Amino acid sequence: MVTPGSGISSRADARISKVLPHYLDLEGRHTLWPSLYERDAYQALLRKTPEQRSGLRLDVHWKAKKHESGNLVLKAELRGLREKQVQNLVLTQQVEPTKLFQRWTPMVLGSDKYSELGDLIAWRVTLWDGEQQIAEQKSFLWR
């Protein structure tokens, strides 16, 4: 099922609701205090000062009740810009199915891979059941 213009497609029993990309500081933090306002302010600071960044974290909000293969995998495809060259990188993470509730899963890109990627310009996160893609969420700039 695809909703036109939403960037979301999914099987009826699976979905990726939200993806929040966050920069990590030199100590691996994405915020200094447990407040949405403080998190957003700190992320604005990290966007302005790339020398204070050490990585990237994608917080993925997803749900999948039923699965056939027993092998659910979140896959994040990242597109970055480093030294005027487009860089592509893929993160994968095996996840457990949810029973009733949705789940947040962090996907972390450490300092070594983050320096290869450069500044994040677009992303796509998919949920796979074995070899079958069952849900997708992508950024506005993903093509």
Output the pLDDT for position 12.
64
Helix (H, G, I), strand (E, B) or coil at 122: strand
Q: Give me the pLDDT at residue 31, please.
A: 92
Between the alpha carbon of residue 89 and those of residues 1, 4, 9, 33, 81, the distances in Å are 27, 27, 22, 30, 11
pTM of the model: 0.84
What is the structure's pLDDT at 6?
45
- Beginning with the edge strand found earlier in the chain, give each strand of the sheet holding 85-95 in spatial order: 8-10, 132-138, 119-129, 72-82, 85-95
Number of domains in the chain: 1
Cα-flanking dihedrals φ and ψ of residue 124, to 5°? -145, 130
**Is 43 contained in some domain?**
no
State which residues form the domain around 14: 8-19+57-138
- Kindly state whether residue 28 falls inside one of the protein's structural domains: no
Residue 97 placed within a domain: yes
Residue at 29 is within a domain: no
Task: Report the CATH number at residue 126.
Answer: 2.60.40
Q: What amino acid occupies position 18? A: K
Let me know if residue 129 belongs to a domain: yes
Q: In tens digits, what is the pLDDT along the chain, a chain of 143 residues?
A: 334 444 444 556 889 999 999 999 999 999 999 899 999 999 999 999 999 999 999 999 999 876 766 789 999 999 999 889 999 999 999 998 767 678 899 999 988 899 899 889 999 999 999 999 999 999 999 98
In a domain, 88, yes or no: yes
Residue 132 lies in a domain: yes
CA distance 111 to 88: 15
Is position 62 within any domain? yes
